[in-house]
Structure formats: structure tokens, C-alpha cells
Structure 1
């Protein structure tokens, strides 16, 4: 297991760092910009052949018209200049564009006229051979989605959370894709929340492992505190991605929004239910880690108290010969049994007897 998990982590990282690719069999050409990983026009749920230049694509979509015709542009970590060009072509709000460029946003949903802007936090479980006080357990990224009546623009930040496979999967369901840009938004939100569930299950394995380690050592191990605290920080990272997404999904499922197809609202309710489940799990993990931390600290404290009792007991035993030897070491002329032949053996016997009686008393009381 210690060998397989690091290899698996390296493989997953290498795979997820690949840029998302156009769906196979579509005849798509290379993107016009390095930031544009895919750009396509969809009509009635079917991808149409054409250029991957955003300006040409939106022009083609608007010439054909129709509710089921839209363009989907996928961007990966675009620069400010690259996103500004796209924003000008699609009339995106400057505040939303600024958020999309700089990332590090909380999950949210904002409306700018007829355009929706949604931020979702992506998460990935980082495989590791053994949890340490510096292990990274949860890696986060972001997906920003601009949704209009005839376009959807996705901006992805982070080495994971690619949308290439999702795009290909949607293209295999033209009936769903024909519902327009909101169908793409739902599919992205659904994939993100499903990844939350997968990561939560993997984090649970780490919690079980550290819980077993803590309670297997009844004497307590202070070195476990660093591991527990690191795991708690990673769970809080997951919690910051999950919890704020509840309100945006509730808005999409309960509020009538022009760019959201009426049939898609019920799909958002299903995603919201899944999010509630994972939020409950993460909240339970946070509370469980607190309990494990308190139990470990209690074990450490109990061990320290036991050690202090033993030290105190031995100090009391050693005090007897120390006191007697100290008295006889003062060289007074008139000392008890000082010139008696058996005085020295008698003093040693008294010291041994007193020490034995004290030791026995401490043993009976559980101090030794």
C-alpha cells in the first residue's frame, strides 16, 4: 500500500494536468489562443463543425439563431488580456471578469443583466503513503462559468477538474444538451459535487486510520497531535469548498431565471440534495476530528500524570536514605549508636525497611 498510493498520486497528477481536449470525432481544429482549450457551436444538442475562434463561433451561433443554438468556450487559466478579448465579444461584466482572472473566490452565483456568473470550487484527493503533519490531503481549484442565452464560457483554474470528458459525455446526450447553456451549467455543478462525494469518502479513510492509531496506543502519543491537526485543516479546506455552494444551488433550483431552462431546475434540486449529503458528511468529519484530538490530548495528559506519580513516589522513597545519611553526615560527637558495633548495620536495616514500607504503600495505591 505504501508504494501503490504514491504511484497512484503521481499518475493522477500527470493525467489531470493534461489540458482538456476537444471531443473526439468532431473535426475541431486547434484553438485560436493558448487559453482556449475548446470552442464549439451547438445546435439542437449537436456539435456543429466550424472554427474555434470565439468571435467567429458566436457569430455563427447568432446567425443561425434558435433557443437550442449556443456556443461553449472552454478557457484554462487565461491572462487578463485574453479574457478581456472574450469579455468584449460577449459583453461580460467587468467585475465578473476580474473575479475570473484572479481566482481564489468563494463559491457564489451572481446575475449581471441577462448573464449568470457562477463560481465553483473543485477538489481533488491527494494520495499519500502515510499521513504526516505536513501531508496535503485536499487540493482545490476553481471553475468559473458565464452563462448567457446563447453562450456558456468556462474558466478553469488548477491542475485538476478538466471538462473535456464532461463535454464529450454531454455531446453523447443531444436531448439534454439541446436545453441550452443551463444544461452545461448543471452538468458542471453535478460533476463538481460528485467529486466532493469521492473526496469525502477518501478523507474518511484517513480519519479512520488516524482514529485507529490514536486508540490503539492507550498511553497516548503526543506526535499524533500534528497529524490530527493537519487533517483537520484539510477537512476545513474541503468544508470551505462545499458549504458556500448551498445557496447558489438553491437559487438555481427554486428561482425562475431567464437563461435557465425550466426543466433544468429540477436537475439542480438533485445536485443540491447531493451537496447537502456531502456537507453533512464533512461537518461530521470536522466534529469527529475534534473528538479524536481531545481523546489524544486526554491520553497524553493521563500518561503525564501517571509518570509524575511514579516520579513523586520514587522521590519519596529516595528521601528516606537521603535524610538519614544527611543526619549522620553532620559529624556530631553524640550520635545514636555511633560507637556501637552494630550501629552501622542497624541504620542500613532501618533505611531498607522504611524504604520497603513506603514502596509497598505506593504500590498498593497504584502509584508504582
Structure 2
């Protein structure tokens, strides 16, 4: 689906462009065309390929989606893929933004994402001095917007982790739920990590040393994006380490709880074993117990059993087993 198709000249919006007229505007000096697509059909992708002379391999990646974040050069065109990570309730939704940036055009293809980039276009149009830098600045603005959206997602993960940590030493019986929440949180952190770490390498190739001609004037901006990614990566590593530690602590709490239960079972088993032992020695078939013809033998046997069991109960209670 076509979202926007706009021509810009010397940093200012020239006009909205019908798709069939794109090639005409590309011929004008100091002009570039910015096209935005969302979940395009095969026919729309093929049309853009013809209009902008896009490489077939890059078009294939943009059409299929689910690509690893990367930056590739095809002649004078930069092809970049970034993951759009969005919070959808308690789940993370991962979409994709593929951007083609040439000397006189920008084509963005958004897939599996509900968040648009109209704000990015509005921001660029408010800064004509930046928009004069051409497609390189638009590429930066799009990538920067995606990276900025990682921060609230990371904040949410950290807040959820703090909430789980508060319950680790809570009531017994909650450990299973805590482990399940921790593993779910670890999966979310891993999804964000898969978006961030490959992008570090891709953005790192857009400043310093030999860079594509499209981004020569915007290298400093991409360095800033790279710094943001480094900050996010550091926080992600901290979250992952904390999750692993929390899982180990929770499993240790489970082991301690199981050990306490085993102690209680063993204690009560020992107490009831006393009855079995005395009854086995004295037997239950005599006229009087514990010795033959002893009138007070039966009460004495019961008192002995109760006394010994009470003594064991006190010892186990004092030891903390019960």
C-alpha cells in the first residue's frame, strides 16, 4: 500500500507525485523523491523496482521480510534493513523497515508494523536545511526513529524485571510462576537483542573511513545513532545478566523449599516410626502390655509412645525441621 510519494527540491516539499510521474521528477536537478510503502504487493514492489532501477536481490529481501538487520551497497544505492520492535500488551511485535537510498530517491518499505513514520516526514520537512542533504538525511531520520523506539521497550523490560525481582523472595509456591515470567522476559530481551546487535555493525559502516556517497554529509548523525545503539546494547546485557541471576536465585529458592518439605516429611515419618517400633516389639496380642500380666502395661505403652514422639517433635521443632 502506498503511504506517500513526495518530491523535494532544495530541502523543500515540491509536490505529491503520482507513481507514474516519479521518473520525470528524478530527472530534475537538486530534486529527490521520497516514497513510503506499507506491506506492499508484489506488483507495487515490481513497479518501484522499475522506477528506481533497484537491484533484484535487495528487492527480494524487501519483498520477503524477516531479514536480519543489515546495510548493503548496490552501486550508488544503499539498502538497509532494520527491525521495528513494538510493545503489544505483554508481547513484543517485531516488524521490518527496508530502506533504499539513492542519490535522488528514498524508498521505505514497512512490514508487520502498526507504527508509521509520518512524524519523521513532518520533522524532516520542518528542517529544510537538513533535508537539503538529500536522501542521506532521510535514511538517518528513519533509522534514528526506529532506534529511539527501542528505548521505551527496554524501559518496559527493565520495569518488568524489577517487578519479578520483588516477588522472588515472596510467598512460597510462587517460584514456578516467577521462573515462567523470567523466561518470557528473557525471550523478549533476546528479540530486542536480535534487532540491536546486527544494527550496530550496519550503522558503524555509515561513518568514518570509506562510506557510501549517499551518506557522506550525514556521517556525524549516524555516529550519534551508533552511540544510542551502544547504550541500548549495554543495558540489554545488564538485563540479560540480571535475568540469568534471578533464574538461578529462584531455582535455589525452589531447592531450599523442597529441602524444607523433605525435612518435614522425614520428621513426621520418624515420629510415626516410633509407634511402629514399640508396637512391633511389644506386640498387640497380649492380655496386658508391655509385659505379660502387667495390669498397667497398656497405659504405660501408650504413654511411652506419646512421650517419645513428643520429645522427637520438640527436637525437630527446635532444629527448624518442622
Q: TM (normalized to structure 1)?
A: 0.83
Residue equivalent to 1:36:
2
Residue equivalent to 1:125:
87
Contact 1:108–1:245 (CA<8 Å) still a contact in 2? Answer: yes
Among candidates 101, 106, 113, match of residue 63 of structure 2: 101
| Structure 1 residues 338-349: aligned runs within 5 Å | 338-349=292-303
1:52 aligns with 2:15: no
Deviation at 1:168, TM superposition (A): 1.2
Alignment partners' CA distance in 1, 2:289 and 2:301: 12
Deviation at 1:304, TM superposition (A): 0.9
Residue equivalent to 1:275:
229
**Distance 1:253-1:160 versus aligned 2 partners, 3 A rule:** farther
Contact 2:206–2:215 (CA<8 Å) still a contact in 1? Answer: no
Deviation at 1:333, TM superposition (A): 8.8
Please give the root-mean-square deviation of Cα atoms over the aligned residues, in Å. Answer: 1.9
Q: Which digits, 9 at most, give the CA deviation of each residue in 1:291-317, with x for residues without a partner?
A: 111111111110110111011011001
Among candidates 354, 357, 361, match of residue 315 of structure 2: 361
Residue equivalent to 1:77:
39
Alignment partners' CA distance in 1, 2:294 and 2:16: 118
Q: Which runs of 4+ in 1 moved over 6 A?
A: 332-335
Contact 2:94–2:112 (CA<8 Å) still a contact in 1? Answer: yes
Residue equivalent to 1:159:
113
Q: Which digits, 9 at most, give the CA deviation of each residue in 1:207-245, with x for residues without a partner?
A: 111111213347752222111111111111111111110
Alignment partners' CA distance in 1, 2:148 and 2:229: 9
Deviation at 1:352, TM superposition (A): 1.4
Contact 2:147–2:228 (CA<8 Å) still a contact in 1? Answer: yes
Residue equivalent to 1:61:
26
Greater displacement, 116-125 / 255-264:
255-264
Deviation at 1:356, TM superposition (A): 1.9
Deviation at 1:57, TM superposition (A): 2.1
Alignment partners' CA distance in 2, 1:264 and 1:208: 39
Alignment partners' CA distance in 2, 1:95 and 1:348: 90
Alignment partners' CA distance in 2, 1:216 and 1:365: 23
Structure 2 counterpart SS, 1:216 = coil
Deviation at 1:247, TM superposition (A): 0.5
Structure 1 counterpart SS, 2:206 = helix
Contact 1:219–1:299 (CA<8 Å) still a contact in 2? Answer: no
Alignment partners' CA distance in 1, 2:218 and 2:184: 39
Which ranges of structure 1 fall in alignment gaps of 5 or more residues?
A: 1-34, 128-134
Alignment partners' CA distance in 1, 2:16 and 2:259: 76
| Structure 1 residues 1-368: aligned runs within 5 Å | 35-53=1-19, 55-62=20-27, 64-66=28-30, 69-127=31-89, 135-136=90-91, 138-217=92-171, 221-329=175-283, 331=285, 336-368=290-322
Alignment partners' CA distance in 1, 2:21 and 2:306: 101
Q: TM (normalized to structure 2)?
A: 0.94
**Distance 1:52-1:329 versus aligned 2 partners, 3 A rule:** farther
Alignment partners' CA distance in 1, 2:35 and 2:290: 103
Deviation at 1:330, TM superposition (A): 6.0
Contact 1:152–1:181 (CA<8 Å) still a contact in 2? Answer: yes
Contact 2:5–2:16 (CA<8 Å) still a contact in 1? Answer: no
Deviation at 1:335, TM superposition (A): 7.0
**Distance 1:258-1:287 versus aligned 2 partners, 3 A rule:** closer
Contact 1:76–1:155 (CA<8 Å) still a contact in 2? Answer: yes
The number of residue pairs the alignment matches comes to 322
Alignment partners' CA distance in 2, 1:161 and 1:143: 11
